[in-house]
Structure 1
Amino acid sequence: MTREFLASNIVLIGVQAAAVALPRAHSVPVLERLAERLRSPWWALVPLLSIAGVVWAINAQSGTADVLTWVALLAIPPLAAAALGWTMHGGRPWLAPLAAVLFLVAWQAQEHLAGELAGTLLSGLSCVTLGVLLVTVAPHGWLKVGIVLMAVADVILIGAETLQPASAVLNAAAPPAELPQLQRAHFGHAVIGYGDYFIAGVFGALLAAEGRRQGRIALLVFGLSLAYDALFLVLDTLPATVPVAVALLITEATARRRLPPPRRPRRLSRPGARSA
């Protein structure tokens, strides 16, 4: 693990931690009515399918990577604009056009760190919006299970060396006209998958919806990632979903410990009986 890789990796996991800190809870009547119609536990499978389904599809048909590249190119900028204008803490409508600026920088300076950083920020911001949208339609308890299952699947796929070939094909896919590759985040000497930002955005949106302190938990994710990434000394690929899932488990365990013990109901004396 070189210094260059370490510095690049710190930037990438920093954006991942920011995706935990940025989502904010919303109360929009139109969206609430729509969410009530769409609400279902099945949405909790989205995190799992975003990794297992994608890996299976790419390994089955490599052309899937080209489709996903176009989906990312078309969807990520407007999703990032929604984050800047609405779904993140501090979001303002007049900030939304900054997404177009980031896209232009990512396109015109993609061979430089500035362009790579712009593309990485677009990916992270888009996952903030995706997280907020998913949390509005998925029951929170089931979605937490989905986050853990996504991390477990990530570990299994990497251990079985099933994810690496699909990831290589996806990372190599490029749209024409030298448009930016937004289907993964690349900065300097390190690369992180889009799913690793997606799980962070979903976790952050859950925290926001439940009124948790996102900043502290985002720092926890960052610290866990730094410690966890020491495994790069002996491994070439790590599932970056794991620190987010571990932070979720720690947060849930801590919250349960802080709950007051259930109060025992008082036993009422029978008429004519003596009470101690």
Structure 2
Amino acid sequence: MYEMIINVDRMEDDAPAIGLGLAVAARQRAFVTGVHIVQQFPSVAAVPEALAIMEAEEESARRRDAWWRGLCDRAGVAGAWEVLRGLYVPVLAARSRMADLMVSPLPHGYADLPIGFDHVTRTLFAGGVPTLLVPERSEVAQAPQRVLVAWNGTGESTEAVRAALPLLREAGVVHLLDGRRSSLPDFGPPPLPLGDWLARQGVSVQRWHSFDPGGDAGAALLAEAEAMQADLLVMGAWGRSRLSELVLGGTTHHVLTNARLPVLVAH
């Protein structure tokens, strides 16, 4: 069975990540687990007041089981509710590895930490599964129908495409930007047969074209997504280190900081 988890920080019916995650789960006939992390801080582990606050948060979250099951029932999916306490990143990364896809709010909508150093993208970098990141301002509430795939031949971008296959098969329109760079003959890796592979996987690409945006790939990707009225962007993440992307700028950093549409990323 296809397994999904939805990282539930904001336990409210109108949270965009919850709505889109349940819509995707219904389309894929997936089992979907809502996961809420009660973050534990080692520096205050011996402070009675801090422990009492964490225990109260955990107890309150556990009482939301009926709420979550009600959401799943209305979406027509089977699901479960889990509350986990511990260090946010390793706990969420470990739990996500038991799923085929994780859905999570895109952090820039509410987090104090910049993209690349927030809990969610650190979880992805720590070995978590491919993640569908949903901006808080996203209005996409149904399984994506117009998908833009950004692929450049890297392992990260290929993994993102592989993770997106169930969504690509169901999409009505798929456009692919091929950002592979040419290499010297006999020195670079052979071209990957992406087109044949996608066709065997039941994915039809309506528009496939080369993509050479120059120095601002992130802005160019978002412009392409807006031009095709995409409701999902699929891409690999962190082509270089998170620190260099934060300091020097980079495609992942720009996209995740400015995206208004959901982004499926893999590392």
Quick check: TM above 0.5?
Answer: no
The one of the two structures with greater contact order (alpha-carbon pairs below 8 A, sep at least 6) is 1
Q: Name the structure where strand makes up a greater proportion of residues.
A: 2
Higher-Rg member (1/2): 1
Q: Name the structure where helix makes up a greater proportion of residues.
A: 1
- The TM-score normalised by the length of structure 2 is 0.28
